[in-house]
């Protein structure tokens, strides 16, 4: 697949069908608690009814929108802006102080796909702006220890592996 930009400007993202870039954010509030989101009970989505962090996948539209402004490791980066988009869509929150804390990858035989997961820590600019999307049914601000006691479903120990880095 390629995405065409104008007459001569092409961006090739044929790899997007074979590589999934997933991003999650450990969002802290003023009290240093982590935002936990309870997934809707949608059987078509992973881990229905379980607790999770905000985030999602990098879309080809993120690449198209940010490709000319990225590459300097600043707030204009494609990945940072894709993460901000996901956080805004899921929670209505703006975030600051975004910092990568963990990177992992795996190959899914069943999907024939490389999965790259990047986790970040950040801070909510104004937690009173929190408004959940239909993807989640409730939220709570939890300590790391409280978060790890929540039902997160079988993620292969992924969330625990990066929360340990905090």
pLDDT at position 4, please? 44
Domain count, the chain: 1
d(CA 133, CA 54): 11
Average the pLDDT over 13-26 and give the result. 80
Q: pLDDT tens-digit profile of 82-141? A: 999 999 999 999 999 999 999 988 888 888 888 899 999 999 999 999 999 999 999 999
Would you call 31 exposed, middle or buried from its count of C-beta atoms within 10 A (0-12, 13-18, 19+)?
exposed
CATH number, residue 119? 3.90.79.10
State the DSSP code for 147. H
Mean pLDDT (whole number) for 62-74? 76
Look at residue 10 in the predicted model and tell me its pLDDT. 55
| 3 state SS of 42 | coil
Structural domain of residue 18, as residue ranges?
Answer: 2-163
List pLDDT tens digits, range 140-156.
999 999 999 999 887 76
Contact present, 61 and 95 (Cβ < 8 Å): no
Report pTM.
0.83
């Amino acid at each position: 697949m390629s995405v065409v930009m104008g007459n001569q400007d092409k961006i090739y993202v044929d790899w997007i069908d074979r590589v999934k870039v997933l991003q999650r954010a450990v969002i802290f509030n003023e009290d240093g608690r982590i935002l936990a989101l309870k997934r809707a009970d949608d059987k078509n989505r992973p881990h229905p009814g379980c607790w999770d962090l905000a985030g999602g996948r990098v879309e080809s539209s993120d690449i198209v929108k940010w490709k000319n402004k990225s590459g300097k490791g600043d707030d204009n980066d494609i990945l940072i802006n894709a993460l901000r988009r996901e956080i805004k869509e899921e929670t209505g929150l703006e975030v600051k102080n975004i910092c990568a804390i963990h990177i992992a990858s795996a190959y899914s035989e069943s999907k024939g796909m490389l999965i790259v997961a990047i986790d970040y820590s950040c801070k909510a600019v104004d937690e009173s702006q929190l408004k959940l999307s239909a993807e989640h049914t409730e939220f709570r601000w939890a300590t790391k220890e409280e978060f790890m006691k929540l039902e997160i479903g079988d993620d292969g120990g992924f969330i625990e592996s990066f929360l340990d880095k905090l």
